[in-house]
Homo-oligomer: A and B are copies of this chain.
């Protein structure tokens, strides 16, 4: 018998509780032992529920109960989630979580405490919702040198971009639609400015490198500047625009960024539509592997939390998740990317001179700008090439096999 305490009875917490009850038989079979919810911590009053006896407002009741093996922290945010997690790990309880903010900020410290206490801090639900992602990368690609990891990690922005491309909506219209459908918050900044995706790529890069990749050091650009001209250009180039988070693991160090990318339609990332997410990993032996599914939602996220609970229930041992001190970063200036670049028409002459071998693209109708697609350039070589040319906007470019 394994006893679980759920911290927070919000959307995910209630999903975890429902699923553990509903699929109890299947879970017992998979775990080889019954898995029971002994406590639910929430500050609200649930005394009129039939199962009121398992609700508590006092975390210490859970902490001091030696029968609690696994704590599912689904409160979100840093406080009090951090304190509860730390206390539980120090008491020899494993913790599973969907809290990407906490993992991205305090992951290295909490994983160290878990290791010292021979318990686990698992976070499958923190990236990609219900998509099995963290555990497969940790377990099944362990023999590969991972060269790159990334993907479309935020469903809200992907929904907005899909609407802009498929239904001709403006950014503002699509955002409003997303808010009405509950896909975007009333304060949508964390999603549309790229912060949510930034935390997720921080977690994935830390996982892949085994070193803490601080989200503060990740170049992050959201989708608020994507306009209908970008959409029209993308369509001319048989491409779509997606918010792509990615990190590269090179011999000289690591690099990570979140930014919009113009992606050829043949690239599998281009077909990730609406609120779906996809994450890819490039291993030296396995090549590119991609994982796709619903990146959010009550039951998908609960499903991921339960996969971690099952993993611990099946075999209590330490699973080897550990991030050492901070990773070595390479300067963004060293990184080479191809770009789609919009330029003022008056600089057409200079542009043709600097890029004599490239086609110039023009939108139909009256327009005071032109555009082109560059070869891979470092920041420095980009500046050199475009010196004296009025750049309106640049967007990272992804070909069909990247």
Contact = CB atoms under 8 A, between A and B. Distances in A.
A272 interface: yes
Nearest to A31: B142
A131 interface: yes
B290 A292 contact: yes
Interface stretch (A59-67, A191-199, A307-315): A307-315
Given A143-B27, A320-B30, A292 B293 contact: no
Nearest to A134: B140
Interface string A120-143: 000010000011100110011111
Copies in the complex: 2
A77 interface: no
Interface string A1-23: 00000000000000100010001
A317 interface: yes
Nearest to A299: B285
Contacts of A289: 130-132, 291-294
A327 interface: no
A307 B130 contact: no
Contact of A130 (B267, B286, B293): B286
DSSP majority for the A interface?
Answer: mixed
Contacts of A285: 15, 19, 23, 130, 299-300, 302-303
A267 B311 CA distance: 32
Contacts of A140: 124, 132, 135-136, 304, 307, 311
B143 A139 contact: no
A76 interface: no
A283 interface: yes
B300 A287 contact: yes
A306 interface: yes
Contact of A271 (B15, B271, B300): B271
A81 interface: no
A138 to B, nearest CB: 9
Contacts of A132: 132, 136, 139-141, 289
A270 interface: yes
Interface of A: 15, 19, 23, 26-27, 30, 32, 124, 130-132, 135-136, 139-145, 265-268, 270-273, 276, 283, 285-294, 297, 299-300, 302-304, 306-307, 310-311, 314-315, 317, 320
8 contacts: A26-B145, A130-B286, A132-B136, A267-B271, A286-B293, A289-B294, A291-B292, A315-B317
